[in-house]
Amino acid sequence: MSDSPSTAGPDKTRVSQETRAAERHEATMPADAGPMPTPEEEAAAEKNNVNPAVAAAEREATERGANLKGEGRIA
């Protein structure tokens, strides 16, 4: 006889009390964006050079997306 889901241990369709407790605890936690960058990370980011062509393409895509009217419309 093979082990079917109905005979193989605890019911996997019901949420355990441990999961419910963890979800209740998580629901009370404040929203958090994560740690701020360190001064070293900020300095390293300032050293990045942006390709002007890439920056222009990004600006164009952002403007095109902001000005679209209707769902699925191609400009």
pLDDT digits (tens, 9 = 90+) for 26-71: 999 998 888 999 999 999 999 999 899 999 999 999 998 888 777 7
pLDDT of residue 32: 87
Look at residue 47 and tell me if it is in a domain. yes
Mean pLDDT of 14-37: 92
What is the reported pLDDT for 1?
46
pLDDT band at 75 (very low <50, low <70, confident <90, very high): low
Question: How far is C-alpha 6 from the geometric centre of its chain's CA atoms?
Answer: 35
Q: How far is CA 26 from the centre of its chain?
A: 17
pTM: 0.37
Number of domains the chain is built from = 1
In a domain, 1, yes or no: no
Q: How far apart are CA 43 and CA 41, in angstroms?
A: 5
19 within a domain of the structure (yes/no)? no
In 3D, which of 54, 37, 34, 35 has the Cα closest to residue 46?
Answer: 37
Separation between Cα atoms, residue 75 and residue 58, nearest integer Å: 16
Which structural domain range is residue 44 located in?
37-66
SS3 label, residue 64? helix
